[in-house]
Amino acid sequence: MPEWTVAQPTKLTFDTPVTDLHVRIVNGTVNIVGTDDPTAHLQVSEIEGPPLVVTQQDGTLTVAYDDLPWKGFLKWLDRKGWRRSAVVSLAVPARTRIEVGVVGAGAVVSGVQGSVSVKGVAGDTTLVALSGPVRAETVSGNVEAQSVTGDLRFASVSGDLTVVEGSGPSVRADTVGGSMILDLDPGGPTDVKLTSVSGEIAIRLPDPADADVEANTASGAISNAFDGLRVQGMWGAHKLTGRLGTGSGRLRATTVSGSIALLRRPAGEHEPEPPAASGDNAGTTDKKVL
């Protein structure tokens, strides 16, 4: 099994096929971009503390620390182990399946067609133009998803979720104290289920929209921009129900003390294009210890 120990800024190119990518870093940044290039490229532009270990076996490329396992990742709270940092950029074939774990680091994943799984103890995550299923789990980091067309799953303790131009067939999001802001533009029926304890929920739908809607809050406020829906409850608990268009989609939102807002996008409103992410494909090396 090829293995490299990366202790200083380095560039690597992997000519053998890569079908899966696993990355786990502490502090710093990881930037992953899917490309049409059949080879994978790695650049470590900054690194402090323990070295990263890079391995490639049976189509799986791993860039990680030896003491930072994927299993139980969200419970890795050894503060002494946080004394490290790395800035990592990867360009991989677009169909690669991605697993990313970050502790105090930012992560950007763009242009990937395979499944994407992100776990974060802290640090924000940006997901751009992903067409496969996406799962993001965070303790306190925020997640922004732009132009994601696959199924989206999100779970957080206090991190926020922002979805821009979401057009996937389903969204499932659960948070304790984080807020959720979803701007949806589905091309067909969409199944959305959002659950929060104290976080606020805001959903913007196109007009006209097709969805069966039910939103509940135990003690928060509800605001609604659609005439076809009705709000029940004067004091305490509030419930918003009704059908928009044919009702082919499904929207469920529940919060205990947070507020819920259902917003309307005017017909024909132009949305800005999301910023393009960039990758670094340059450079190769055949050294094993770097």
pLDDT in tens, 27-78: 999 999 999 999 999 999 999 999 999 999 999 999 999 888 777 766 665 6
The pLDDT of residue 83: 84
pLDDT class of 279 with cuts at 50, 70, 90: very low
pTM above 0.75, yes or no: yes
The pLDDT of residue 81: 65
The answer on pLDDT for 203 being more than 80 is: yes
Q: 63-72: buried (b, 16+ CB within 10 Å) or exposed (e) per residue?
A: bbbeebeeee
The pLDDT of residue 240: 95
Comparing CA positions, the residue from 105, 117, 178, 188 lying closest to residue 153 is 117
The answer on pLDDT for 208 being more than 90 is: no
Domain ranges of the chain: 1-105, 124-277
Under 8 Å CB-to-CB from 119, ≥6 apart: which residues? 70, 73, 74, 100, 101, 102, 136, 137, 138
The answer on pLDDT for 85 being more than 50 is: yes
pLDDT class of 286 with cuts at 50, 70, 90: very low
Residue 46 near residue 9 (C-beta atoms within 8 A): yes
The answer on pLDDT for 267 being more than 60 is: yes
Q: Which long-range contacts (CB under 8 A, 24 or more apart) does 163-169 make?
A: 164/271, 164/274, 165/271, 165/274
The pLDDT of residue 265: 85
Give the integer Cα–Cα distance in Å for 109 and 96. Answer: 12
pLDDT in tens, 218-236: 999 999 999 889 998 867 7
The answer on pLDDT for 284 being more than 50 is: no
